[in-house]
Amino acid sequence: MIEDNKFNNYRIAVPAEFESVFSHFYFAENKSEEFITKTFLPSYQTILIFNFGCKAILHSKQNSQIEVEKCLILGPIKKAFDYSLPPKSEILVANFKDDSFYRFFGAASIAEHLPINPDVLLNQNCFTALWEELSKIHTTDRRIDFILKFCKPYLQNRNQVLESLTATDNPNLDKIKSVAALHNHTERNIQLYHKKYLGYSAKEINRYERFLNAVKFIQHNITLKNKVDWFEIVDKCGYYDQSQLIRDFKYYIDLSPTKYLEFQQAICNPKS
């Protein structure tokens, strides 16, 4: 997406070799003379932010601010938050997929204490050294290639239980129960594995996926220019009632479903 050639932002796909590690990279730069503020949407992924140029600023819903000087780890991203890019700044964001954060650093529970400089998670000051090398590279594609080569020695083998957890995507299947039976574990042990390796519980991700289904349902209706039936969304997406649907929208993006619908319609059907 380009706005007057002053703000550029886009997603970059990863090579097939790294698809189990990163879902994608994200790049944004501000070429204007003003601060530009955008929003990171919840993804339940842990992200590694590299900052180049002037310091980017992250804003929490509690009105606290964090400056990104060189690199910062944040997540898993469970709620939307804003970020600001001052003039002459740019960021490159690596989005860790599933348990890949654990495979690098050995403890997804550290995510409870993020944001944090990734150097403190390792025995050497390697990420700052990585940033120094990246700052000498002036194209995004070459920076990503450098990151991918850099990460290989740190990536651990995937746990077999996690292989099963991340491979199970049948919405009608009880993931915890089926994986527990497959590996001869108790359901409680599988729940602990889920939290340890992924940084969130199965209950949390199920709630998030239910919210995503509601968003997709709304988007589909907007595309077809159909009137949105909130009771149909409640029924088809597995909500108990409309108040539960409203709570999820307020929790993840701090908007009511109605406000979200109005916002999306304004984007898709702007007045001439």
- With cut-offs at 50, 70 and 90, classify the pLDDT of residue 169: low
> What is the CATH code for 2-154?
2.60.120.10
Domain segments of the chain as ranges = 2-154, 160-200, 203-268
Report percent pLDDT > 90 for the chain: 43
3-class DSSP state for residue 102? helix
Residue whose token pair is 């932002």: 9
Q: How confident is the model at residue 271 (pLDDT cuts 50, 70, 90)?
A: very low
For tokens 């990163």, name the residue: 22
Confidence category of residue 223, pLDDT binned at 50, 70, 90: confident
Q: Which residues contact 139 (CB under 8 A, 6 or more apart)?
A: none
pLDDT tens digits, 39-68: 888 899 989 999 999 999 998 767 778 889
d(CA 148, CA 14): 9
Rounded distance between C-alpha atoms, residue 178 and residue 99, angstroms: 19
Give Cβ neighbours of residue 106 (< 8 Å, ≥ 6 apart): 156
Q: How confident is the model at residue 137 (pLDDT cuts 50, 70, 90)?
A: very high
Backbone angles phi, psi at 269, to 5 degrees: -130, 65
| Segment 55-104, tens digit of pLDDT | 999 987 677 788 898 988 888 888 888 999 999 999 999 999 988 888 78
Position 236 pLDDT exceeds 80: yes
CA dihedral 36, 8, 45, 25 (to 10 degrees): -150
**CATH topology assigned to domain 203-268:** Arc Repressor Mutant, subunit A (1.10.10)
Instruction: Give the predicted TM-score (pTM) of the model.
Output: 0.81
Beta strand spans in 79-187 (E): 81-85, 89-96
